[in-house]
Amino acid sequence: MLEDTIIAISTPVGYGGIGIVRLSGDRSLPIAKKIFKPRKKNTEISALRSILGNLYHFEQKDFFEEAYLTYFPKPFTYTREDMVEISCHGSPVTLEEVVRLGIKAGARMANPGEFTLRAYFRGRIDILQAEAINDLIQASSFKQAKISYNQIEGKLSQRTASFRSQIIQLLSLIEASIEFPEENLHLSRKKMSKTIEKVIDSIKRLVESYSLGKTLAEGTTLAITGRANVGKSTLFNSLLERERAIISHYPGTTRDYLKESIRIKDSIFTLIDMAGIDKPVHPADKEAIKKGRELAAHSDGILLLFDSSRKESLEDLKLINKFKDKKMLFLFNKIDLPQKINKSKLKREGKNHPFLEISALKGTNLEKLKGILHQLFVPDQRQGEEVILHLRQKLLFEEVLESLLEGKRLLEEGYSEEVIAEEIRKALPLIGKLTGEIRADEVIKEIFNRFCVGK
Ligand SMILES: Nc1nc2c(ncn2[C@@H]2O[C@H](COP(=O)(O)OP(=O)(O)OP(=O)(O)O)[C@@H](O)[C@H]2O)c(=O)[nH]1
Ligand SMILES: [Mg+2]
């Protein structure tokens, strides 16, 4: 597998100003030379320089495109192998023909993420860095892209390595006291306890950073719910700044749900507009209401709308109760009209849920609403601290944490050093799994399958 020379289009599918075909492996240059001919006859292809030339069709025996070729000799390349990049116009048919000819000349079509997989197999990057490369490419905000860039540079890997060395240090401290029990036992126990607490604290913070990581990577899903006719679709459209949903003064206008995303500052919010949760009138309402309840229950948060130009009803109270355990913001809509709703009663019913008065129609307080949404749903990033973006990483760090916490407990309860050491040592293979030092084929397959071909 690793001996093959691989080839793929590295630029996105579709038409573009420029398209790039990449090769990696020992035969990259000889294969590329069959397709690419320098414009100036007898030009030596020197390393790390773009050379102008033409693409040669060795089956049809003629030229078909202008191109630049750049040769990157190993070992200081993306994959640590010899690499070649051919850039020409971003025409899908031409690029595909280049790949086809490359394969005819001895290359193999690359699998998704195989260039990066090679960088990992050849030890240039670890799994944390490989994950970060894909994160950077698919980042939904600049903030997330910057976090991923730092991880590609190795910040998270270094942090993880420092946990490992602190744990090893701790183990040697414990082992020393097994071997020389006559040394000041009390003192060393205190020292052990301090060291372990320090590591626990840093790992805890890292685990906590996942809530920000998840928000940045996946965005926040908000369900706009409330009774029929309260102005859900009007709010949905106003936040999107376009007429996406149909609005009418008849209750029951929206039946199928609508889902669209907006960006607030550095984060993506996916808004769901849905049918009003009310007494069904039409047979289709029943299904729509059921769907609405489900969507609301699975969202990250709820915008519960009330029509404040009308008296509150039992249905409003039911809705508050139904979602009281979720992150929820009360929105008193239609404040441009004479107010009839008993806001304090509803607020009391909702206990700690924040609220805001808006007019979805006139746009009153919508900027404020965006600010509150960001504040409520996007956790803060601690200055200079790493953020983890993957559940895989979070779960493994949590396991590390568990074994350290258990070690700490055993230490405090006066268990023998052997027992404590055995518990703490469990953390080491977990760290190996995190960085990919311990290779789990399933995990690797899953990670690299998320990549595009050509990366
Ligand atoms: N005056 C005023 N009218 C509003 C406001 N928001 C919505 N409306 C009106 O209320 C009516 C219902 O609005 P929609 O956005 O369709 O309400 P909905 O909650 O989506 O209704 P359903 O889809 O039927 O559940 C329309 O006539 C809107 O113009 C507001 O802030 N002020
Ligand atoms: Mg609607």
**Closest ligand (CA of 231):** 1
CB neighbours of residue 275 within 10 Å? 27
- Note the pLDDT of residue 184: 62
What atom in ligand 1 is closest to the CA of residue 333?
31
Tell me the domains of the chain and their CATH numbers: 6-126 (3.30.1360.120), 129-209+387-435 (1.20.120.430), 222-365 (3.40.50.300)
- Tell me which residue has its CA closest to atom 1 in ligand 1: 334
Q: Is the CB of 394 under 6 A from ligand 1?
A: no
Cα–ligand 2 centroid distance for 230 (angstroms): 8
pLDDT < 70 regions, the chain:
181-187
What atom in ligand 1 is closest to the CA of residue 237?
15
CA pair distance 134, 137, nearest whole angstrom = 5
Cα–ligand 2 centroid distance for 128 (angstroms): 44
CA pair distance 167, 331, nearest whole angstrom = 50
Rounded-to-10 torsion of CA 380, 382, 385, 390: -20
Q: Is the CB of 432 under 6 A from ligand 1?
A: no
Asked whether 133 and 78 are in contact (CB, 8 A), the reply is no
- Note the pLDDT of residue 182: 67
Cα–ligand 1 centroid distance for 359 (angstroms): 10
- Tell me which residue has its CA closest to atom 16 in ligand 1: 247
Biggest CA-to-CA distance, the chain: 87
Give the SS3 label for residue 190.
helix
Cα–ligand 1 centroid distance for 329 (angstroms): 18
**Closest ligand (CA of 288):** 1
- Note the pLDDT of residue 217: 87
What pTM did the predictor assign? 0.84
Cα–ligand 2 centroid distance for 292 (angstroms): 12
Asked whether 417 and 174 are in contact (CB, 8 A), the reply is yes
What atom in ligand 1 is closest to the CA of residue 305?
19
- Tell me which residue has its CA closest to atom 8 in ligand 1: 231
Q: Each residue of 149-181: b (16+ CB within 10 Å) or e?
A: ebbbebbbbebbeebbebbeebbebbeebeeee
Instruction: Extract the tokens encoding 435.
Output: 């960085």
**Closest ligand (CA of 245):** 2
**Closest ligand (CA of 275):** 1
* Amino acid making up residue 72: F
Cα–ligand 1 centroid distance for 349 (angstroms): 24
